[in-house]
């Protein structure tokens, strides 16, 4: 499985591609950051992020895209920028028919470090260890993107089984309760 992880942001949008399957050693295929200037017009920044993500999709041909789920922060402006960058990533993948998964920061931290409250340094250290890298990817947005891809690789099999079970359950005819023969309810 090849996954493009996207840590959305308007100024720095982390991107990282990881390949592998759950239970086996993983391989980093590529890592980087799509950058935009903070003083640029919002529309131009979103176009730059789109172009950067499209280049990553063209070059690495992922089977899945994992994007950090936007959560409420105290700074509304930061949340808006993150949500806008996230939407661009989702749009780019969806336009190509690539499945998109959203993972919360605590899900990613828990998957990679074992604790949903891990700090950025702990995430970077575990990404470095899991991918057998010489040093943690810089900036932290790049390491976070790799962590998203790792999280998806590890969580996808369980999520797929759950989705299949739900789909199977919903396609079966509804069961109507009935009383056993010879008895009245």
Query: Which of the residue ranges 30-39, 123-132, 176-185 would you say has the lowest mean pLDDT?
Result: 176-185
| Confidence bin at 92 (pLDDT 50/70/90) | very high
2-171: CATH homologous superfamily?
A: Ribonuclease H-like superfamily/Ribonuclease H (3.30.420.10)
Is 19 marked active-site?
Answer: no
Per-residue confidence band for 173, with pLDDT thresholds at 50, 70 and 90: low
Whether residue 7 lies in the annotated active site: yes
Among 11-15, 26-30, 137-141, 176-180, where is mean pLDDT lowest? Answer: 176-180
Distance CA 154, CA 71 (A): 22
Please give the Cα distance from 131 to 18 (Å, whole number). 9
Query: Which element (helix H / strand E) includes 64?
Result: strand 64-68
The mean pLDDT value for 46-72 works out to: 95
What's the pLDDT tens digit per position in 22-35?
A: 999 999 999 999 99
Q: Stretch 169-179: mean pLDDT, rounded?
A: 62
Band the pLDDT of 171: cuts 50, 70, 90: confident
Looking at residue 86, what is its pLDDT? Answer: 97
Cis peptide before 119 (omega within 30 of 0): no
Per-residue pLDDT for 115 more than 70? yes
Question: Is there a catalytic annotation at residue 50?
Answer: no
Helices marked H in the chain — which ranges?
42-60, 76-95, 105-113, 120-130, 140-171
Contacts of 15 (CB under 8 A, 6+ apart): 4, 5, 6, 7, 30, 31, 32, 33, 34, 52, 53, 56, 142, 145
Of 50, 58, 68, 119, catalytic: 68
Q: What are phi and psi of 120, to 5 degrees?
A: -60, -35
- Of 97, 105, 123, 152, the residue nearest 9 (C-alpha): 105
Where exactly are the structural domains of the chain?
2-171
Q: What is the pTM of this model?
A: 0.86
> Residue 75's pLDDT is what?
76
Set 7, 41, 59, 107: catalytic member: 7
- pLDDT surpasses 80 at 58: yes
């Amino acid at each position: 499985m090849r996954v493009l992880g996207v840590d959305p942001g308007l100024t720095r949008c982390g991107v990282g591609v990881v390949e592998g399957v759950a239970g086996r050693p993983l391989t980093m295929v590529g890592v980087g950051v799509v950058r935009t200037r903070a003083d640029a017009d919002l529309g131009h920044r979103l176009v730059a992020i789109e172009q950067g993500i499209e280049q990553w999709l063209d070059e690495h041909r992922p089977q899945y895209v994992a994007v950090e789920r936007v959560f409420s922060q105290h700074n509304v402006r930061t949340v808006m920028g993150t949500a806008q960058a996230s939407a661009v990533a989702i749009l780019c993948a969806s336009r190509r028919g690539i499945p998109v998964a959203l993972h919360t920061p605590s899900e990613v931290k828990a998957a990679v470090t074992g604790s949903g409250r891990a700090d950025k340094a702990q995430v970077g250290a575990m990404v470095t260890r899991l991918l057998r890298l010489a040093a943690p990817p810089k900036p932290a947005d790049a390491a976070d993107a790799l962590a998203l891809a790792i999280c998806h690789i590890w969580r996808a099999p369980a999520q797929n089984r759950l989705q299949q079970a739900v789909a199977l359950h919903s396609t079966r005819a509804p069961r109507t309760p009935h009383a056993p023969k010879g008895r009245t309810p």
